[in-house]
Amino acid sequence: MYIVRMKRVTASDARRDWFRLLDEVAAGEKVVIERRGKRIVLSCEDSDAAGSAIPDYGAAIQATDADHADQWSWSWSEDELTPVEKQGR
C-alpha cells in the first residue's frame, strides 16, 4: 500500500503563506491548495525530469541567417507606401 501525506490549505491561506509553502515544497513536501471544490497539487519536480538541456528551436524558426537576428534592422518611409496603404492615412 502506498500512502502519500499531503498538506492541505485553502487558497486564502496559500496566498498569505505563499513563500513559506514554496519553501516546504522545495524541501519535498506535497501541498494541496483547495479552491471552490478543486484541488491544485504543488510538488517539486525532479531536476532530471525537468531536463537541463536548452531546446533546439531551429526547425520552428525558418529564417535566413537567423544566427545574426540580433543585428537585423530595417528602415521605411511614407514614400515607400503603395497608394492603397496611403488611403488609410
pLDDT at residue 28, as a whole number:
87
How would DSSP label each residue in the chain? Answer: ------EEEEHHHHHHTHHHHHHHHHTT--EEEEETTEEEEE-PPPHHHH--SPP--TTT---TTGGGGGG------GGGS-HHHHHT-
pTM for the model:
0.48
Domains defined for the chain, CATH in brackets: 1-45 (3.40.1620.10)
Tens of pLDDT, residues 68-82: 777 777 777 767 665
Q: Report the alpha-carbon distance of residue 66 to residue 59 in Å, rounded.
A: 11
Tens of pLDDT, residues 9-45: 999 999 999 999 999 999 989 999 999 999 999 988 8
